[in-house]
């Protein structure tokens, strides 16, 4: 059975004080949540800004469900790269995951698939788990090249990995036109693309590995539409932006499986 995952990407939001408060609220709401009694495997991931990682990880040290992710890491191992944060530094905070290739990194910071492949290697070599984002822009959907675009992102970012390495990757499909716009993919559009991504992984690494990988949907997923999106057989959860900043909404999304 694939792990069900809800990951909250805070982006560049929340002071440390606000972030600590938000995590405390989420924990409090989850204590009485029915999913904590379930036999199914759930992972909840919170991705705060780098400078909050250690403090927020300390709050969650004994929590059986919630782990911490960074939103990005450097493509270099260490050295004279002012302002960068390495995978090794992230590991030392207690974080377990790193989001790689978010469309905001690809678009605003020109991160190429080749650079992202280097980052994936650093995440894995530091015994962390990557959440690798892919997704097409609106013009790519409108011109019907969206399958090709996503296939290339998966191919260039992940196909150099071994079978053991790819089985540690979480993939997040995030159509760029749906991120922060209030326009989510329909459940049919999400299922169609998730099934396609699983087939792309299967053609390269085999069905067993493809069936074991969690593929998350991201793009205006919220407390109202999560249930419909998560009901699809190839949608294993969500990568949530805006709605992860409100404790009650984030917990409702977690309870949408």
**Does residue number 22 form part of the binding site for ligand PEP (CB under 6 A)?**
no
**Which of 15, 143, 180, 203 is in the footprint of ligand PEP by CB under 6 A?**
180
Per the CB < 8 A criterion, the answer to whether 86 and 76 are in contact is yes
Catalytic annotation present for 102: yes
- In angstroms, give the least distance from the CB of 77 to ligand PEP: 26
Residues in contact with ligand PEP, shown as a per-residue x/- string from 216 to 235 under the rule CB under 6 A:
--xxxx--------------
Catalytic annotation present for 18: no
**Does residue number 242 form part of the binding site for ligand PEP (CB under 6 A)?**
yes
- In angstroms, give the least distance from the CB of 176 to ligand PEP: 10
**Does residue number 166 form part of the binding site for ligand PEP (CB under 6 A)?**
no
From the candidates 52, 102, 111, 136, give the one annotated as an active-site residue. 102
Nearer to ligand PEP, 9 or 67 (CB): 9
**Does residue number 48 form part of the binding site for ligand PEP (CB under 6 A)?**
no
Q: Which residues bind ligand PEP (CB under 6 A)?
A: 9, 174, 179-180, 218-221, 239-243
């Amino acid at each position: 059975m694939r792990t069900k995952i809800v990951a909250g990407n805070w982006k560049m939001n929340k002071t440390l004080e606000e972030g600590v408060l938000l995590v405390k609220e989420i924990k409090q709401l989850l204590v009485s949540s029915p999913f904590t009694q379930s036999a199914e495997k759930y992972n909840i991931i919170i991705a705060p800004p780098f400078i909050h990682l250690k403090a927020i990880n300390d709050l969650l040290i004994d929590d059986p469900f919630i782990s911490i992710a960074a939103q990005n890491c450097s493509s270099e191992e260490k050295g004279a790269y002012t302002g960068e944060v390495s995978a090794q530094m992230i590991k030392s905070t207690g974080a377990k995951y790193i989001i790689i290739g978010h469309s905001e990194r690809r678009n605003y910071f020109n991160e190429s698939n080749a650079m992202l492949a280097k980052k994936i290697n650093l995440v894995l070599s530091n015994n962390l788990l990557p959440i690798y984002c892919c997704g097409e822009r609106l013009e790519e959907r409108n011109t019907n090249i969206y399958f090709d675009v996503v296939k290339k992102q998966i191919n260039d970012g992940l196909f150099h990995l071994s079978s053991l390495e790819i089985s540690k990757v979480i993939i997040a499909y995030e159509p760029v036109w749906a991120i922060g716009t209030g326009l989510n993919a329909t459940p049919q559009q999400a299922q169609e693309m998730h099934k396609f991504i699983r087939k792309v992984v299967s053609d390269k690494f085999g069905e067993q590995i493809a069936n074991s990988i969690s593929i998350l949907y991201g793009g205006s997923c919220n407390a109202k539409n999560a249930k419909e999106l998560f009901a699809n057989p190839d949608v294993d959860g969500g990568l949530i932006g805006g709605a992860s900043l409100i404790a009650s909404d984030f917990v409702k999304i977690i309870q949408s499986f």
